[in-house]
Structure 1
C-alpha cells in the first residue's frame, strides 16, 4: 500500500509530530458507527508502531495501518491538507474516502 502526501500535508504532520519519530496510523474508525462495515477514516499519531501494523509506503512521514483495516482502502492513496482548516482530505485512484479528517495525537492516551 502507498500513500502520496502533499507538501502542505507533510509540513502540518511534521509540525504536529515534533522531534519524536512517531508514526501516523491510518484507521478505519467504526466506533459508534453501527456495524463493522460503517466507519470513517482517521489519522492517529502513535508513540510507536504496533506489532499488528503494516507499513504504508509514503513519500515523507512514516505511516502504518492495522492489517485488518487494509480491506477498506485502495492500494494507492493521496493525502492533502484541507485549505484553511486543520483537517485532511484522503482519496484513492477511484474514490474520495473523506474530507475533514482529523489528526488525533494518541501518544498521551
Structure 2
C-alpha cells in the first residue's frame, strides 16, 4: 500500500497541529454504521500508538492502520484537503473512501 499526502493536506494538518507532535492513525470506525462493511475512515493524531497497528511510511507523515482493516483500502491512497467543504479526504484513483474525513487531534 502507498499513501501520499497532498500539499494542501500537509498545510492544513500543520495549521491544526499548531506545533504539537503526535502519531497519525487512520481508523475504520463502525459504531453506529450497522455493520463492519459500512464503516467510515477518519484521521486521528494521538500521543500514544495503540497496540496492534501497522506503520505505513508516506511522503511526509507516517500513518498507523489496524492491519485487520486494510482489506477495506485500495493499494494507492491519497490524503487530501478540500477547501470547498473544509475537510480532509481519503481517496484513491478509483474512489473516495471518505470525501469528508475528519481529523481529530488528541495531543
RMSD of aligned Cα (Å): 1.6
TM-score, normalization: structure 1?
0.86
Alignment partner, residue 81 of structure 1: 81
Alignment partner, residue 37 of structure 1: 37
**What are the Cα deviations for residues 43-87 of structure 1, in whole angstroms up to 9, with x where unaligned?**
111112223111122111221111111111012101110124431
Cα distance, 1:35 vs structure 2: 1.2
Cα distance, 1:2 vs structure 2: 1.9
Q: Equivalent residue of 1:98, what SS? A: strand
TM-score, normalization: structure 2?
0.87
Please, which runs of 5 or more residues in structure 2 have no aligned partner?
A: none
The CA distance in 2 between the partners of 1:19 and 1:9, in whole Å, is 16
